[in-house]
Amino acid sequence: MTHTKIREDTTSANAPILETRNLVKRFGSFMANDHLNLTIRTGEIHAILGENGAGKSTLMNMLAGLLEPDEGEISYRGKPVRFRSPRHAMEAGIGMVHQHFMLIPALTVAENVMIGLKNGRGPWFRHAKACADIRRLSESFGLDVDPSAKVGELSVGQQQRVEIVKTLYRGADFIILDEPTAVLTPPETEELFRVLRALREQGKTIVFISHKLNEVESLCDRVSVLRSGKLVASAPMKSTDAAELARLMVGRDIVPPAPRPVPAKSEPVLEVRELSLRRNNAALLQRVCLAVGEGEIVGIAGVDGNGQRELCEAIMGLSADSAMEGEIRIRGSVVPRPKPKTMTELGVGYIPEDRQQDGLVLPMSIGENLILKQFRSKRFNRLFTLKRSRIREAAEAAVREFKIKTPTADHPAGKLSGGNQQKVILARELMQRPKVLIAMQPTRGMDVGAAEYVHRRLLEERERGCGILLVSTELEEVFALSDRIAVIYKGRIAETVDRAEANVDTIGLRMAGL
Amino acid sequence: MQGKPGKVALMVAWSVEAGFYVAAIAISLLAGALVMAAAGVTPWEAYELMWQGAAGGANSLKETLVKATPLLFAGLSYSFAYRCGLFNIGAEGQIYVGALTGTMAALLLPPMPFWVHLPLALLCSFLGGALWAGIAGALKIGRGASEIINTIMLNYIAIFLISYMVTGPLMDAAGSLPQTAKLPASAILPQLGGSRLHVGFFVAIGTAIVLYWLLERTTWGFQLRSAGLNRRAAEGMGMPVKRNLLLAMMVSGALAGLGGYVEIAGVQHRLMQNFSPGFGYDGIAVALLGNTHPLGNIVSALLFGGMRAGANSMQRVTGASTSLVYVIQAIMIIVMLVNKYWLGGFKKRIREALIRRVERSDSSSGSTQLNWNE
- Domain positions in chain B are 70-321
Measured CA to CA in angstroms, residue A323 lies from A275, A279, B143, B343 at distances of: 11, 6, 19, 49
Task: Find the mean pLDDT for residues A50-68.
Answer: 84
pLDDT value for A354: 87
Q: Please, which pLDDT band fits residue A344 given cuts at 50, 70 and 90?
A: very high
pLDDT tens digits for A154-170? 877 888 889 888 888 88
Whole-number mean pLDDT of chain A?
Answer: 85
Residues A371, A394 contacting (CB under 8 angstroms):
yes
In chain A, residues 329-368 whose CB comes closer than 8 Å to chain B: 339-344, 350, 352, 357-364, 368
Residue of B1, B8, B12, B219 to mutate when probing chain A, most A C-beta within 10 A: B219
In chain B, residues 211-270 whose CB comes closer than 8 Å to chain A: 217-220, 222-223, 225-226, 229-230, 232-240
Q: Please, which pLDDT band fits residue A305 given cuts at 50, 70 and 90?
A: confident
pLDDT value for B139: 96
| Mean pLDDT lowest among A332-346, B191-205, B310-324 | B310-324
Residue B11 near chain A (CB below 8 Å): no
Task: Find the mean pLDDT for residues B127-149.
Answer: 95
**DSSP symbols for A372-435:** TTTTTSTTTEETTEE-HHHHHHHHHHHHHHTT---SSTT-BGGGS-HHHHHHHHHHHHHHT--S
CB contact under 8 A, A386 and B217: yes
pLDDT greater than 90 at residue A376: no
Q: Please, which pLDDT band fits residue B86 given cuts at 50, 70 and 90?
A: very high
CB contact under 8 A, B352 and A26: yes
Give me the amino acid identity at A403.
K
Q: How far apart are CA A422 and CA A274, in angstroms?
A: 32
pLDDT value for A2: 37
Residues 6+ apart with CB under 8 A from A340: A316, A317, A318, A350, B235, B236, B237, B238
Hey, what's the torsion of the CAs at B314, B318, B324, B325, to 10 degrees?
A: 0
pLDDT value for A249: 78
Residue B291 near chain A (CB below 8 Å): no
pLDDT value for B153: 96
CB contact under 8 A, B232 and A372: no
| Mean pLDDT lowest among A427-441, B249-263, B346-360 | B346-360
pLDDT greater than 60 at residue A355: yes
pLDDT value for A7: 39
Task: Find the mean pLDDT for residues A477-501.
Answer: 86
Residues 6+ apart with CB under 8 A from B278: B92
| Mean pLDDT lowest among A79-88, A111-120, A370-379 | A111-120
Q: Is 3.40.50.620 the CATH number for A1-93+173-180+202-247?
A: no
Measured CA to CA in angstroms, residue A157 lies from A110, A161, A272 at distances of: 17, 6, 32
CB contact under 8 A, B236 and A350: yes
- Of the two residues B120 and A56, the one the predictor is more confident about is B120
Distance of CA A31 to the CA centre of its chain: 24
pLDDT value for B261: 96
Residues B201, B65 contacting (CB under 8 angstroms):
yes
Task: Find the mean pLDDT for residues A273-292.
Answer: 88
SS3 call for A292: strand
pLDDT tens digits for B205-242? 999 999 999 999 999 999 999 999 999 999 999 999 99
Q: Please, which pLDDT band fits residue B105 given cuts at 50, 70 and 90?
A: very high
Q: Up-side HSE of residue A249: CA atoms within 13 Å toward CB?
A: 29
In chain B, residues 342-371 whose CB comes closer than 8 Å to chain A: 352, 355-356, 359, 367-371
Q: How many CB atoms lie within 10 A of CB A111?
A: 19
The pTM of this model reads 0.74
Q: How far apart are CA A411 and CA B370, in angstroms?
A: 9
Tell me which range, A193-207, A208-222, A234-248, is most confidently predicted by mean pLDDT.
A193-207
Q: How would you class A385 by CB atoms within 10 Å of its CB: exposed for 0-12, middle for 13-18, buried for 19 or more?
A: middle
β-strands A94-97, A30-36: how paired? unpaired
pLDDT greater than 90 at residue B76: yes
Whole-number mean pLDDT of chain B?
Answer: 89
pLDDT value for A44: 93
pLDDT value for A240: 86
Measured CA to CA in angstroms, residue A416 lies from A178, A392, A410, A441, B165 at distances of: 18, 17, 11, 19, 57
Q: Please, which pLDDT band fits residue A247 given cuts at 50, 70 and 90?
A: confident
Task: Find the mean pLDDT for residues A297-315.
Answer: 88
Quick one: CA dihedral A448, A454, A386, B292, positive or negative? positive
Segment B312-315 long-range contacts (CB within 8 Å, at least 24 positions apart): B312/B53, B312/B63, B313/B49, B313/B50, B313/B52, B313/B53, B313/B54, B313/B60, B314/B46, B314/B49, B314/B50, B314/B53
pLDDT value for A477: 85
Size of interface A-B (CB pairs under 8 A): 100
Kindly report the CATH number that applies to the domain delimited by A267-347+434-514: 3.40.50.300
pLDDT greater than 80 at residue A250: no
Tell me which range, A88-92, A303-307, A436-440, B365-369, is most confidently predicted by mean pLDDT.
A436-440
Of chain B, the percentage scoring pLDDT greater than 90 comes to 58
pLDDT value for A182: 72
For residue B65, give how far its alpha carbon lies from the nearest alpha carbon of chain A (Å): 32
Q: Please, which pLDDT band fits residue A262 given cuts at 50, 70 and 90?
A: low
pLDDT tens digits for A2-37? 343 333 444 445 788 999 999 998 876 667 888 999
What topology does CATH give the domain B70-321? Answer: ABC transporter involved in vitamin B12 uptake, BtuC (1.10.3470)
pLDDT value for A246: 76
Task: Find the mean pLDDT for residues A216-238.
Answer: 89
Q: Please, which pLDDT band fits residue B343 given cuts at 50, 70 and 90?
A: confident
Residues A177, A207 contacting (CB under 8 angstroms):
yes
β-strands A268-279, A323-330: how paired? antiparallel
Q: How would you class A258 by CB atoms within 10 Å of its CB: exposed for 0-12, middle for 13-18, buried for 19 or more?
A: exposed
For residue A127, give how far its alpha carbon lies from the nearest alpha carbon of chain B (Å): 35
**DSSP symbols for B194-242:** TSS-BTHHHHHHHHHHHHHHHHHHBHHHHHHHHHHH-HHHHHHTT--HH
SS3 call for B9: helix
* Every domain of chain A and the residues it spans: 1-93+173-180+202-247, 100-172, 267-347+434-514, 359-432
CB contact under 8 A, A373 and B234: no
| Residues in a beta bridge with A234 | A224
In chain B, residues 57-76 whose CB comes closer than 8 Å to chain A: none
Please name the residue of chain A whose CA is at the shortest distance from the CA of residue B351. A28
Q: Please, which pLDDT band fits residue A257 given cuts at 50, 70 and 90?
A: low
Residues 6+ apart with CB under 8 A from A308: A300, A302, A353, A440, A471, A473, A488
Measured CA to CA in angstroms, residue A353 lies from A480, A487, B45, B371 at distances of: 19, 18, 64, 26
Task: Find the mean pLDDT for residues A467-496.
Answer: 87
Selection from B37, B373, B50, B106 nearest residue B260 by Cα: B106
pLDDT value for A252: 62
Burial profile B308-327: b = 16 or more Cβ within 10 angstroms, e = fewer: bbbbbbbbeebebeeebbbe
pLDDT tens digits for A96-148? 998 778 888 888 888 888 887 766 666 677 788 888 888 888 888 878 888 88
Q: How far apart are CA A76 and CA A173, in angstroms?
A: 11
**DSSP symbols for A176-239:** EEESGGGG--HHHHHHHHHHHHHHHHTT-EEEEEES-HHHHHHH-SEEEEEETTEEEEEEEGGG
Residues of chain A contacting residue B227, judged by C-beta atoms under 8 Å apart: none
Selection from B121, B90, B226, B174 nearest residue A367 by Cα: B226
pLDDT greater than 90 at residue A306: no
Tell me which range, A69-83, A155-169, B90-104, B273-287, is most confidently predicted by mean pLDDT.
B90-104
| Residues in a beta bridge with A39 | A19
DSSP state of A263: P
Q: Please, which pLDDT band fits residue B366 given cuts at 50, 70 and 90?
A: very low
Task: Find the mean pLDDT for residues B252-278.
Answer: 94
In chain A, residues 71-100 whose CB comes closer than 8 Å to chain B: none
Residue B38, φ and ψ in degrees, nearest 5:
-65, -30
Distance of CA B81 to the CA centre of its chain: 12
Please give, one letter per residue, the 3-state secondary structure of A149-167: CEHHHCCHHHHHHHHHHHH
Of chain A, the percentage scoring pLDDT greater than 70 comes to 91
Residues of chain B contacting residue A386, judged by C-beta atoms under 8 Å apart: 217-219, 222
Task: Find the mean pLDDT for residues A381-386.
Answer: 88
Residues of chain B contacting residue A375, judged by C-beta atoms under 8 Å apart: 219, 222-223
Tallying the residues shown for chain A, one arrives at 514
User: Could you say which of B1, B226, B355 has the minimum Cβ distance to residue A361?
Assistant: B226
pLDDT greater than 80 at residue A368: yes
Of chain A, the percentage scoring pLDDT greater than 90 comes to 32
Residues 6+ apart with CB under 8 A from B125: B98, B99, B101, B102, B105, B257, B258, B260, B261, B262
Q: Please, which pLDDT band fits residue B91 given cuts at 50, 70 and 90?
A: very high
